[in-house]
């Protein structure tokens, strides 16, 4: 079965350091879809800013972003690419759709 996937960037702001463990656990659960991540501690404001790039079906991106946003002390939003691709069930990327 093939599903359309999108590339998305999930922006995460962690305002409560106690939430870091839960954020990392959620990212681990969706690790098969994560292309890369970058975290920046912003000590002046006492927050951590994380960018996560994923290539996943829309429902997985939405689920991850929503679950992250429900963690107390965490804000998360997703920015989606406009075009998707068809991926096989094995996770391999195939041709682009326009």
Asked if the structure places residue 21 within a domain, the reply is yes
CATH number at residue 52: 3.30.70.1150
Would you say residue 91 lies in a domain? Answer: no
User: What is the predicted pLDDT for the residue at 87?
Assistant: 61
Q: Could you tell me if residue 88 is inside a domain?
A: no
pLDDT, position 84: 77
Residue 68 counted as domain residue: yes
pLDDT score for 85: 79
Residue 21 CB-density burial (10 A; 0-12 exposed, 13-18 middle, 19+ buried) = exposed
Domain range for 24 is: 3-83
Q: How many domains does the chain have?
A: 1
What pLDDT, on the 0 to 100 scale, is given for residue 1?
59
- Is there a domain that residue 61 lies in? yes
How many C-beta atoms lie closer than 10 Å to residue 26's C-beta? 20
Nearest residue to 38 (alpha-carbon basis) of 58, 65, 11, 76: 11
Report pTM.
0.82
Give pLDDT tens digits along the chain (98 positions).
578 999 999 999 999 999 999 999 999 999 999 999 999 999 999 999 999 999 999 999 999 999 999 999 999 999 999 887 776 544 444 333 33
């Amino acid at each position: 079965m093939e599903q359309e996937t999108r590339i998305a960037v999930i922006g995460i702001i962690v305002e409560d350091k106690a939430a870091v463990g839960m954020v990392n656990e959620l990212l681990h659960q969706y690790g098969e879809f994560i292309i890369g991540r970058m975290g920046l501690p912003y000590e002046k404001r006492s927050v951590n800013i994380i960018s996560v790039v994923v290539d996943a079906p829309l429902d997985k991106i939405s689920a991850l972003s929503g679950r992250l946003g429900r963690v107390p002390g965490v804000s998360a939003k997703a920015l989606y690419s406009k075009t998707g691709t068809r991926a096989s069930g094995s996770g391999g990327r195939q041709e682009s759709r326009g």
